[in-house]
Structure 1
Amino acid sequence: MSRILDTIRSPADVRRLSMEQLATLAQEIRARIIDVVCKNGGHLASNLGVTELTLALHRVFDFAKDRLLWDVGHQCYVHKLITGRNANFDTLRQAGGVSGFPSTAESPYDLFDVGHAGTSIATAVGMARGDAAVGRDARVVALIGDASIVNGVAFEGLNQAGTLERQFLVVLNDNSMGIAPTQGALASYLSRFRVSKLYEEVKRKTTELLPKVPLVGKSMLGVLDHLKEGLKATVSPHQIFEQMGFIYVGPVDGHDLPHLIETLQLLRDVQHPVLLHVHTEKGRGCDWASKDPCAFHSPGKLRVEGDTVSVVKSDRKSWTTAFADAVIELMKTDPRVYALTAAMPDGTGLAKVRKAQPERVLDCGIAESCTVDIAAGMCKAGLRPLACIYSTFLQRAYDQVFQEVVLQQLPVIFCIDRAGLVGGDGAVHHGFLDITYLRGYQNMVLMSPADEPELTAALRFALTLSVPCAIRYPRDTV
């Protein structure tokens, strides 16, 4: 029996399907993604979680002329499958194959080569203003996750977007986590909203009762309206978006395809910035991925034997594990040692360290600049922080490394994972710039150990220094 997916050459084909066929297509897409990721590795749980949302967006908008901006972009597999890349999808993350991230070289539906968080809203604002300037009639949509929206660049983008006097849609994909559980006050803010029924109940009853109050003049209605708005502000944590100039809608079920389509159709031509809050489940449609979305966020190749699923791993220890083991030993003997990461506790090895020393590991969320500044402050207070950041992401904190660390000559220890080429993650994640920009800093010590004993020695040596240093190591086995 032929699959609907095999008949999809472009999003125009998606728009011709019935609702029943769309539901079948969603199942086929999930099966296709699971099959390919098991063979090649890749971002699994996040893509399974946005299947209906991606289909709904392509059903309502025409991204052959409208604009779709992805944040990070690792959740773009569904988008790729319905924009002409299904036939080659078996080459996902392979040399010369389909990229695991949006790629302008692959398709006109991919507007930017992206891989870092927080950028979608600002680039979408730029496209909205650019389109308006040249008279192009195109709707603009930015899709961002709840882990990315806490990034400073995302908030700067929201601040700019709120001033637009035109159609502009931000879709907040809220799955309660990024690679790891989302960190920070805004994450808590969104979490409180997800579990709170109070606001919706108050809003419903107020809407029902206010028009029924007898003998009320305009002034009294105004008072009641103010009361309603005041109560809304008291019990609704989404007011932050409305204060930034957005119309807030949601949260809506990100897996209810008919409702998603209906909601997007209502919002498509609203001539004002709108934020649509969509609640999705990471790993949806795959029991083992939904039960452990952290483990199956971006696994390597998978071995599936009946109900048992395991990641195909090398028998040799990875550099990341060697680093984690060394840090655990350092913390046993030096109480000044603390470790920080920017939303990558598993990738940097700090998840293992946190199990041994939970009070001495800090996950700052997707906020590399902030992470470096926190490390600088901790260092100034007498601690010896390890700023554990992927090479590709440390680029985002270039100014903070100079201003708050190097200029102050603070002995922060930068532990740079994923240095060098990183394989399947491609150009947006290669770590080949850190030597170039770090070697120009005054008194910065750079180390690149050759094996595990040298890595341990480098960390111990770093603790004796009174100047900043960086230890870089690859995504590989020792």
Structure 2
Amino acid sequence: MSLLSNIHSPADVRALKAKDLPKLAEEIRERIVSVVSNGGGHLASNLGVTELTIALHRVFDFSKDRLLWDVGHQCYPHKLLTGRADRFDTIRKNGGLSGFPNISESEYDLFNVGHAGTAIATAVGMARGDSMQKKDTRVVALVGDASIVNGVAFEGLNQAGTLKRQFLTILNDNSWGIAPTQGGFAEHLARFRSSQRYDDLKQRAKTLLPSIPLVGKALFDAIDHLKEGIKATMAPDQIFEQLGFQYIGPVDGHDIAHLEELLGLLKDVSHPVLLHVHTEKGKGCQWAADDPGTFHSPSAFDVRAGKVVIKKNGHKSWTKAFAETLIELADENEKVVGLTAAMPAGTGLNEFQKAHPDRYFDCGIAESCTVDIAAGMAKSGMRPFVAIYSTFLQRAFDQVFQEVALQDLPVVFCLDRAGLVGGDGAVHHGFLDIAYLRGFPGMTLMAPIDEAELKAAMNFALTHDRACAIRYPRDNVPATSVANCPPFELGLSRRLRSGTDATILAYGTVTNEALAAAEMLEENDINVTVINARFAKPIDPARSAKLPAWRMSGANSSISTGLKDRQSPKKP
């Protein structure tokens, strides 16, 4: 009989016998693989966090205690254990479960999250708020997939270390984010995982020295007093302990019994504790463990004769078209560099890395830092292209303003996943970039309608000596392009179709829909002009002046506002 089918709440998890827990973990993994293989989603991270999630729900009661997820895409086992197993097949589908924690789904989800670095600071806020209201709660922040290297996470650690109450931060260290973890701190943790020198030295001393006649015990006691000195040179806990945490670990994140015992000991400790848990991304599926980057968030796939085949639609994506164009530009211009914030595969820069490894930079899950590095490279004379999801550029708002726009530096922001993104939901929609980027001085905003225009936009950006942003969706490039593609000229739009009854001014890929609509209207003797704006900033002054104010409408209020600013006085 299936154990998972009888789990309707965490209370059912706590009621299980310890001997049944490995089977429950196996069933959770099987269910996740089955669902993700059919509809896509986050896979490898969730396979790695399964035992830890079970142990957490065995020890804590998160109907009153607090569990804060960082990034949140590791929450699939959590959803299965908190009353959502019967709806798990709907995850990332219209009307179904979110692929991230969602407050509208369950009392066990405290925040709608999907961006990195936030859990520790929000957990500090909840801990302080609960203490001020004398609420008897335990607070746990679960940080994984490399988001510990995010600056906001370190700021949260700095605050958490001052707490005078229970506060547990769990570092789920799987050596990966979406790609291998980058940066000096990640390398520091990796060295410690591989050596274990301090623990080995202490254990050997504890075993051997007391057996030495006369002086053995005294010698061990003396050496034990040197513990802090040994740790200071060999262990990573000094970083966390100097911030005010008691450091425990690293421990095996797949040993449920040990995790449950350890969490039981730590749950009521009255000061901040950091538990360092080492897990394997893709645990339980060798093909996912062998290639955790590919299986971080795959589309639908089949398992055939032990081999995994990811389903592809045969069309070129905007991401691939961007990567190919950037490689071409770099082939011709040695100053072109590509930067990403821990998203090489998602943005296509993994292909750029293969072609130009010395001009590829993964700055880790640190968008603000990535933008500042790009600004510095531009100031030095390089031509940086920052490939980033639209939703994640929001995290570097001030850096785009101060370090790029205010300095008038030629940094090119290539905004993947612009617009609505489907299954990833609200935290990943890229619908704010036009509105906030328009306000930056000197910023140029472009959106191509097909692959030819993407190439033209990127060529323009390379020669333009000010900041540019190019947005494109999570989709395939259109199979057919508009005939001819003249070069981009600053602010100039392009008339694609002429008519006398109405004018549609479209920006980006919706231009293709505007053309289709115009053809449908023509069947009803309505002749429509279709203009491909190309630019949201600056707006084509000659074209916008000819648009009558009383006909202006559209979904994008930011562009509409810009047009109205340039219009001639309205007619009565």
- TM interval, shorter chain, is over 0.9
Q: Which amino acid aligns with 2:280?
A: E
* Equivalent position of 1:93 in the other structure: 92
Task: Tell me if the contact between 1:319 and 1:452 (Cα under 8 Å) persists in the aligned partners.
Answer: yes
What is residue 353 of structure 1 aligned with on the other side? 352
* Distance in 1 of aligned mates of 2:349 and 2:270: 45
Asked whether 1:110 is paired with 2:109, we answer yes
Look up the SS of the partner of 1:317 in the other structure.
coil
Partner residue, 2:421: 422
SS in structure 1 opposite 2:82?
Answer: helix
1:369–1:396 Cα contact (<8 Å) kept = yes
* 1:79 and 2:66 correspond: no
Contact 1:150–1:365 (CA<8 Å) still a contact in 2?
yes
User: Whole-Å Cα distance in 1 between the matches of residues 297 and 103 of structure 2?
Assistant: 22
Give 1:203 shift.
2.3
* Cα distance in 1 for residues equivalent to 2:70 and 2:111: 10
Q: Supply the distance in 1 between the matched residues of 2:440 and 2:124 (Cα, whole angstroms).
A: 34
Q: Please state if 1:63 is matched with 2:68.
A: no
Q: Which amino acid aligns with 1:90?
A: D
Distance 1:262 1:132, change over 3 A: same
Q: How does 1:175-254 map to 2 (within 5 A)?
A: 175-207=174-206, 227-254=226-253
Q: Deviations over 1:283-334 (max 9, x none)?
A: 1111211111111110011122222211111211000000000001000111
Determine if contact 1:193/1:238 at 8 Å carries over to the other structure.
no
Separation in 1, partners of 2:388, 2:145 = 20
After superposition, give the CA deviation of every residue in 1:102-148 in whole Å (9 maximum; x if it has no partner). 00000000000000000000000000000000010000000001510
What is the alpha-carbon distance in structure 1 between the residues aligned to residue 6 and residue 221 of structure 2?
A: 56
Paired residue total:
476
* Partner amino acid, structure 1, of 2:372: D
What corresponds to 2:467 in structure 1?
Answer: 468
Shift of 1:225: 5.6
Q: In 2, are the aligned partners of 1:406 and 1:441 still within 8 Å (CA)?
A: yes
State the SS of the aligned residue for 2:370: helix
CA distance in 2, matches of 1:467, 1:338: 16
Verify the 8 A CA contact 1:88 1:97 in the aligned structure 2.
yes
Give me the whole-angstrom Cα distance separating, in 2, the residues matched to 1:334 and 1:116. Answer: 34
Partner of 1:394: 393
Pairing of 1:229-378 with structure 2 (within 5 A)? 229-378=228-377
CA 1:108–1:262: 2 relative to 1, 3 Å: same
Contact 1:372 1:387 in 2 (8 A): yes
Mapping for residues 126-137 of structure 1, pairs under 5 Å: 126-137=125-136
- Give the distance between the partners of 1:308 and 1:231, measured in 2 at CA: 47
Identity of aligned residues (%): 67
SS in 2 for 1:276: strand
Q: Specify the code of the residue in structure 2 equivalent to 1:15.
A: R
TM-score (norm 1): 0.97
Give the CA deviation at 1:209. Answer: 7.2
Separation of aligned partners in 2, 1:77 and 1:146: 14
CA distance in 1 between counterparts of 2:201 and 2:228 reads 11
What amino acid sits opposite 1:78 in the alignment? Answer: P
Map Cα deviations across residues 179-224 of structure 1 (whole Å, 9 max, x no partner). 10000001100000100131112222455678899799x9x99975
What letter is aligned with 1:21? D
Q: Which amino acid aligns with 1:465?
A: H
Give the partner amino acid of 2:124. V
The 2-side partners of 1:215 and 1:174 are apart by 41
3-state DSSP of counterpart to 1:37: helix
> Deviations 1:55-81 (Å, cap 9, x if unpaired)?
000000010110000000001000000
Query: Which structure 1 residue ranges, 5 or more long, are not aligned?
Result: none
Q: Deviations over 1:237-256 (max 9, x none)?
A: 33111111111101111111
Task: Tell me the amino acid that sits aligned with residue 378 of structure 1.
Answer: M
Q: Within 1, Cα distance between the matches of 2:232 and 2:210?
A: 21
Residue aligned with 2:86, SS: coil
SS at match of 1:62: coil
In 2, Cα distance between equivalents of 1:141 and 1:409: 43
1:388 aligns to what SS in structure 2? strand
* Preserved CA contact (<8 Å) 1:43 1:299: yes
Q: Give the aligned CA root-mean-square deviation in angstroms.
A: 1.8
Aligned letter for 2:156?
Answer: G
SS of equivalent residue, structure 1 residue 365: coil
**Within 2, Cα distance between the matches of 1:451 and 1:74?**
31
> Quick one: which amino acid aligns to residue 254 of structure 2?
H
Amino acid at match of 1:83: T
CA deviation vs aligned residue, 1:147-186 (integer Å, no higher than 9, x gap): 1000000000000000111110001001111110000001
Cα distance in 1, alignment partners of residues 235 and 215 from structure 2: 30
Cα distance between partner residues in 1 of 2:466 and 2:63:
52
Aligned residue type for 2:366: A
Give matches, 1:33-72, under 5 Å.
Answer: 33-72=32-71
2:243, 2:82 → 1: CA distance? 34
**Whole-Å separation in 1 of the counterparts to 2:87 and 2:21:** 22
Over 6 Å off, 4+ runs: 209-216, 220-223
Change (3 A) 1:225 1:19: closer
The corresponding residue for 2:496 is: none
For 2:200, the aligned partner's letter is E
Residues 32-55 of structure 1: per-residue CA shift (max 9 Å, x gap):
111000111000110010110000
Larger radius of gyration: 2
Asked if 2 retains the 8 angstrom alpha-carbon contact of 1:46 and 1:297, the reply is yes
Residues in 2 aligned to 1:312 and 1:80: alpha-carbon distance in whole angstroms:
26
Structure 2 gap segments, 5+ residues each? 478-572
Moved more, 44-53 or 220-229: 220-229
CA distance, structure 2, for counterparts of residue 71 and residue 160 of structure 1: 16
Report the equivalent of 1:149.
148
Q: Quick one: distance in 1 between partners of 2:145 and 2:284? A: 21
Give distance in 2, aligned partners of 1:240 and 1:181: 22
Q: 1:140 matched to which residue of 2?
A: 139
TM-score under structure 2 length normalisation: 0.81
Asked if 2 retains the 8 angstrom alpha-carbon contact of 1:203 and 1:232, the reply is no
